[in-house]
């Protein structure tokens, strides 16, 4: 793969992974399996390691997927709430074991815990009293759902005992029993409300409800898996969990200490079938180093602890008949073939549809209509066809052929060299893509317009109230109030948020436009070099390519975007609405104290988030970097700084600067 091809693929993967994170963490509507998600993330990680010049800290490989929503207040995690590395095979488990043994020569134990499938929660106690419960969020901060968590009977509000630390954080998985899930879905069907896909989605959705009474009615539980404090009662993870069980928390009886990796593998194989007898859904086993001290020595990567790993079980499989294949256009223009199946029971639910991914997958399967196919519920969420039973094939059956034109707008489909997916190039005028661009425009990292979700945008589009992003600024309350699911209050909130969005800074406005290949980082780079939208519109390809990080493909995409008269008209209307298509003087820099300095941020901070510190660095003339190298000026070091960065800084003689020292330097003390 060439450097330019890698850059395109990296940007594409980042966009898709961010969308899947949104569907999983925010909407509770995942569209791919955990396994497929992990493959995409691993591909991105591999490409970033091979082409480090394209690495940036906003990449999904450096961040935990976020479940943060506007309805709740956000709080910083006292300890970062990271995700776990995944594996699906025994060989990678042994590699995990070998990596740890290279770090320490002492003997150590593992703790094996069933991986319950729900929503992660972090609960803080002070003097034995529950003071706050926060969702995982983005790993650094999360939503405050304390009132909802207090309705869960398995979470004590107050605890007493001699070994209880003055302050501690306890983490667990909010789960819903299958029997409760079945009753809930039955009630929803009777009320003509769409049922939840699985207990995990039901638990996560319930946790984010605004009415604690409804949360209480759904009988959630919390399975505890981690205790954190400056004064832990014991030096081993296993003993701390057992002690927490004695305080009144729910800790799974299945938890086991294992003296070596062979015992770990035995535990995993035992529970692969036995777990189906449990009242809760599980999708794997979490393996952790037992010693708290050794955990500290092993440390963390950017998003995962080095002392823990999650083993995921293989999905279940069933056989059924392929009836037909339809083709869907995604919001980025990608075409996804969907198999329509004879209904079959799989992992406790009826499956009627399955993904076929792309044309290559159809060809690989040699798929014919009326074939008997093997269906797997990958990650126990989204079904997919993994094989064909050729012994049942009728010789007259017709081969499945991939379409040549977009089923939504009729445009001939395109497939770029080296890419697996076909896509519709009519991204400016194809209905699913138009709606997708509007969704992107209103998203939190773009214009941050609240109250306009996917369903509302679809409703406004179908009612001919919006056809592009500039139409949003012409909406009137009398148009919104009569619409289904809205009303006066919702309409007022939407219009208020639209009005507030005109203050969005120029770099985020550029990102919001949805120019192909222009992500957050590229938008910021462009805005630094073309400080008004008119400068950018009038730039020629050579001027664009002279800018660092903009290659021929991005330059071509920008030129194509501004060559479209409809886009120019949209920008004209957005200007009239008051959108800031220019850099305010104070937005470019507020000082030059960090001129020519390259700074790495690591750890958790008290006064500002990492994103705010990145902005402060840029506003004071500095440059952010994600990796420590000889060109690093210093590391802005917070609590729980990564051990690997600390070691590398020490070996290169790079100084560490505290949060207080940094704020003093830039004059914010």
Positions annotated as catalytic residues are 115
With a CB cutoff of 8 Å and minimum separation 6, the contacts of 44 are 10, 13, 14, 17, 59, 60, 61
Q: Which residue has the tokens 């660095």?
A: 617
Other CB atoms within 10 A of residue 350 CB: 8
Which residue, 51, 71, 64, is CA-closest to 122? 64
Is 154 strand, coil or helix? coil
Q: Per residue in 265-279, is it b (16+ CB within 10 Å) or e — as a string? A: bebbeebeeebeeee
CA distance 98 to 261: 10
Structure tokens at 576: 């009239």
| Strand segments (E) across 201-279 | 221-228, 256-258
Which residue, 202, 175, 205, 196, is CA-closest to 349? 196
CA distance 533 to 340: 46
Other CB atoms within 10 A of residue 210 CB: 10
By CB atoms closer than 10 A (0-12, 13-18, 19+), residue 85 is: middle
Distance of CA 240 to the CA centre of its chain: 30
CA distance 455 to 462: 10
By CB atoms closer than 10 A (0-12, 13-18, 19+), residue 187 is: exposed
Which residue, 321, 174, 162, 295, is CA-closest to 233? 162
With a CB cutoff of 8 Å and minimum separation 6, the contacts of 621 are 589, 591, 592, 593, 594, 595, 596, 597
Structure tokens at 475: 């909406």
Which residue, 188, 250, 179, 248, is CA-closest to 214? 188
3-state SS of 553-585 is HHHHHHHHHHHCHHHHHHHHHHHHCCCCCECCH
CA distance 513 to 536: 13
**Strand partners for 405:** 412
Which residue, 171, 303, 175, is CA-closest to 237? 171
């Amino acid at each position: 793969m060439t450097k330019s091809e890698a850059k395109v693929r990296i940007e594409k993967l980042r966009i898709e992974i961010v969308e899947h994170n949104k569907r999983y963490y925010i909407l509770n509507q995942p569209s791919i399996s955990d396994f497929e998600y992990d493959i995409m993330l691993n591909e991105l990680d591999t490409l970033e390691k091979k082409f480090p010049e394209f690495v940036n800290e906003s990449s999904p490989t450096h961040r935990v997927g976020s479940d943060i929503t506007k309805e709740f207040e956000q709080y910083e995690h006292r300890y970062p709430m990271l995700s776990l590395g995944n594996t699906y095979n025994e060989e990678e488990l042994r590699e995990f074991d070998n990596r740890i043994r290279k770090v320490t020569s002492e003997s150590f134990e593992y703790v094996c815990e069933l991986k319950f499938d729900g929503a992660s929660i972090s609960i803080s106690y002070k003097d034995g009293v529950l003071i706050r419960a926060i969702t995982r969020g983005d790993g650094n901060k999360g939503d405050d759902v304390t009132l909802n968590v207090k309705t869960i009977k398995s979470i004590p509000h107050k605890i007493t005992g001699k070994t209880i630390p003055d302050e501690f954080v306890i983490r667990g998985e909010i789960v819903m029993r299958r029997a409760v899930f079945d009753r809930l879905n039955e009630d929803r069907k009777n009320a003509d409300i769409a049922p939840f896909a699985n207990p995990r989605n039901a638990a996560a959705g319930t946790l984010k409800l605004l009415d604690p009474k409804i949360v209480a009615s759904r009988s959630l539980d919390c399975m505890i898996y981690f205790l954190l404090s400056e004064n832990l009662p014991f030096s081993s993870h296993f003993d701390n969990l057992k002690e927490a069980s004695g305080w009144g928390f729910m800790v799974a009886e299945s938890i086991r200490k294992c003296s070596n990796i062979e015992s770990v593998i035995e535990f995993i194989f035992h529970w692969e079938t036995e777990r189906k007898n449990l009242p809760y859904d599980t999708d794997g086993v979490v393996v952790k180093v037992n010693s708290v001290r050794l955990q500290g020595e092993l440390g963390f990567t950017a998003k995962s602890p080095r002392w823990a790993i999650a083993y995921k079980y293989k999905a279940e499989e069933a056989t059924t008949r392929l009836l037909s294949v339809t083709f869907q256009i995604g919001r980025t223009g990608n075409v996804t073939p969907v198999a329509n199946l004879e209904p079959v029971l799989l992992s406790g639910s009826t499956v009627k549809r399955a993904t076929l991914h792309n044309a290559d997958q159809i060809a690989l399967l040699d798929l014919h209509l009326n074939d008997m196919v093997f269906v797997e519920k990958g990650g126990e969420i989204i079904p997919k066809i993994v094989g064909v039973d050729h012994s049942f094939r009728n010789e007259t059956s017709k081969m499945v052929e991939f379409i040549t034109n977009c089923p939504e707008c009729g445009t001939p489909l395109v497939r770029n060299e080296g890419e697996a997916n076909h896509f519709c190039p009519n991204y400016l005028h194809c209905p699913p893509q138009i709606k997708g661009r509007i969704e992107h425009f209103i998203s939190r990292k773009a214009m941050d317009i609240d109250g306009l979700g996917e369903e509302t945008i679809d409703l406004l589009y179908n009612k001919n109230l919006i056809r592009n992003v500039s139409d949003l600024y012409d909406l009137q309350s009398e148009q919104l109030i009569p619409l289904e699911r809205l009303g006066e209050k919702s309409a007022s909130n939407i219009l208020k948020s639209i009005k507030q969005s005109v203050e969005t800074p120029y770099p985020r406005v550029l990102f919001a436009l949805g120019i192909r290949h222009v992500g957050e980082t590229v938008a910021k780079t462009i805005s630094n070099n073309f400080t008004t939208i008119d400068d950018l519109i009038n730039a020629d390809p050579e001027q664009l390519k002279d800018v660092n990080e903009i290659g021929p493909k991005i330059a071509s995409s920008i030129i194509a975007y501004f060559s479209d008269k409809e886009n120019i008209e949209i920008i004209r209307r957005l200007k009239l609405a008051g959108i800031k298509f220019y850099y305010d003087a104070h937005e470019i820099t507020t000082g030059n104290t960090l001129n020519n300095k390259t700074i790495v941020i690591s750890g958790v901070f008290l006064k500002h988030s990492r994103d705010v510190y990145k902005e402060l660095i840029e506003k004071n003339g500095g440059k952010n970097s994600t990796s420590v190298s000889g060109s690093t000026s210093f590391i802005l070091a917070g609590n729980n700084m990564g051990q690997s960065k600390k070691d590398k800084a020490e070996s290169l003689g790079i100084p560490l600067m505290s949060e207080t020292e940094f704020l003093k330097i830039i004059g914010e003390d």
